[in-house]
Structure 1
Amino acid sequence: MTHPWFEGSATPRVLAHRGLVTPDAASHGIAENSFAAVAAAHAAGAVYVESDCHLTSDGTVILFHDDDLSRVTGDPRRIADVTERELFDLMATRGGLITLAQALDAFPTTRFNLDVKAANAAEPVGRIVAGHGERVLLTSFSDERRRIALDAAQRAGRGIRPATSAGTATIARLLSAVALRSRRLAARTLQSVDALQIPERHGSLRVLSRRLVDAAHENGVEVHVWTVDDPDDMRRLVALGVDGIVTDRADVAIATLR
């Protein structure tokens, strides 16, 4: 059965990576994963927004990619050591802080692809998304962290479980199954996930292949590739059978693929 996160939206899917920050918005100081970035993705017509979850020192789940503030704000402190109010002030001129709860409330038609970046955020993320499972996909590089968040959402028992995509260990097992041409191992590896979200390459290792796409599709699993900003690359990947493009330029992707 297809999870509601995928229903009613055509492929190829465009996933707005950390929202949308155009060059013009960036020149005005707008940051990724800000309220303004999510709003811009929504305004551009993106159905899906990919974002990242961290936990503040006072227990608020926020949308933010890095472990610390240095790249985005110039402040060297870690997210885990800063309060929500302090982050609110720091992000005020950068598009505005957005918490996970605010994102779900302010953008009720947006479907979120949430990467749990911090171990201490996994349980709170699961609890917050529990009532929104039909429009949330939970993921993490850590399969353990991903499962903790999913379990927390299911324990809250307020609706449909979120969709989920494979962590690094699961992807590694699938690559082995594809290399061995083992349909049984591939099926067993993919039985608990709804999507594979992968780069085309990881260093010298080619991750994406036609055989991997075929193995995923044979088991009812979609393949989304990150992070793709060039229109020619978008077209090439879709021609290979990829179901979704994770991109910093959702506006460009929508114009290219629609």
Structure 2
Amino acid sequence: MPEPRHPFFSTPPPRVLAHRGLVTAEDAAHGVAENSFAAVAAAHAAGATIVESDCHLTRDGVVVLFHDDDLSRVTGDPRKVADVTADELETVMAPYGGLITLEQALEAFPTVAFNLDAKAEAVSEPMGRVIGPHGARVLVSSFSDQRRRAALRSAAGHAKDGGRPATSAGTGTMVRLLVGVWLRLEPLVRSALQGIDALQIPERQAGIRVLSPRLITAAHRYGVEVHVWTINDPEDMRRLIEMGVDGIVTDHADLALKTLT
């Protein structure tokens, strides 16, 4: 595989990406939730060097780490993230491990790299503005290529010495790539992977196999890493790494680190 094109991948794989931080069974029993300050801190304490998380925008324009567009699943509050202020969300999240904003995450954990998913159209520009100075340790992702590219454009306008963030393929890009791989259309493969640093994919989607040796080979031919989500079984972790996968996105970063390092 060619050398990675971005400092986000400066250390050799395999990589463990802590999915929404780390919530152990003990922490969960005490009310700690995913994507909370406590969950990110736990992942860092366990030795994870990459945290995968999600970004939404509050009513007053603060980028926060939160997966869903509303608070109901995590806190029981039916309001949407976009309808509450950061102070209101901080109060709501206090019993669940504490709110963490994107700015806090980057400043409080300077040795951690962040894989950040733009979950809403409104968050792309302000998300890019926050991550711009930290491009060397951020990977921007989204199912929407439009949101992903908007965040990258915004980050480029606020970049400092860290340069641009890395990025992974959105759904549209992945469809083009898979067609190119399946039909052995190398120009389409090359075009789809232009400007892409990683593929972050499930093994299967809606009963269709996404991950394959041919896909891994094609990605590696262009210096693009392959990360698979969400893998929690140690045997599956080992099997995928042996297959050639570069990273594992997991709810159990502590277990993955013991298994793969």
**TM-score (normalizing by structure 1):** 0.98
Partner residue, 2:222: 219
Partner residue, 2:28: 26
Q: For the residues of structure 1 that align with 2:24 and 2:214, how far apart are their CA atoms?
A: 35
**Superposition deviation, residue 245 in structure 1:** 0.1
Partner residue, 1:78: 80
Q: For the residues of structure 1 that align with 2:253 and 2:102, how far apart are their CA atoms?
A: 20
**Superposition deviation, residue 24 in structure 1:** 1.1
Partner residue, 1:175: 178
Partner residue, 1:151: 153
For 1:197-227, what per-residue CA distance to the aligned partner results, in whole angstroms no more than 9, with x for missing partners?
A: 0001101111000000000000110000000
Partner residue, 2:41: 39
Partner residue, 2:97: 95
Q: For the residues of structure 2 that align with 1:144 and 1:192, how far apart are their CA atoms?
A: 14
Uncovered stretches (5+) of structure 1, i.e. residues with no partner: none
> Which amino acid letter does the alignment assign opposite residue 150 of structure 1?
L
Question: Secondary structure in 1 aligned to 2:199?
Answer: strand
Partner residue, 2:258: 255
Question: Secondary structure in 2 aligned to 1:2?
Answer: coil
Alignment identity in percent? 65
Matched, 1:240 2:221: no
Q: For the residues of structure 2 that align with 1:141 and 1:2, how far apart are their CA atoms?
A: 22
Partner residue, 1:69: 71
Match of 1:164 among 167, 177, 202: 167
**TM-score (normalizing by structure 2):** 0.97
Match of 1:12 among 11, 14, 29: 14
Q: For the residues of structure 2 that align with 1:203 and 1:26, how far apart are their CA atoms?
A: 30
Q: For the residues of structure 2 that align with 1:141 and 1:222, how far apart are their CA atoms?
A: 17
Uncovered stretches (5+) of structure 2, i.e. residues with no partner: none
CA RMSD for the aligned pairs? 0.8
Contact 2:134–2:159 at 8 Å: present in 1 too?
no
What number of residue pairs does the alignment pair up?
257
> Which amino acid letter does the alignment assign opposite residue 107 of structure 2?
D
Contact 2:59–2:83 at 8 Å: present in 1 too?
yes
Q: For the residues of structure 2 that align with 1:4 and 1:203, how far apart are their CA atoms?
A: 34
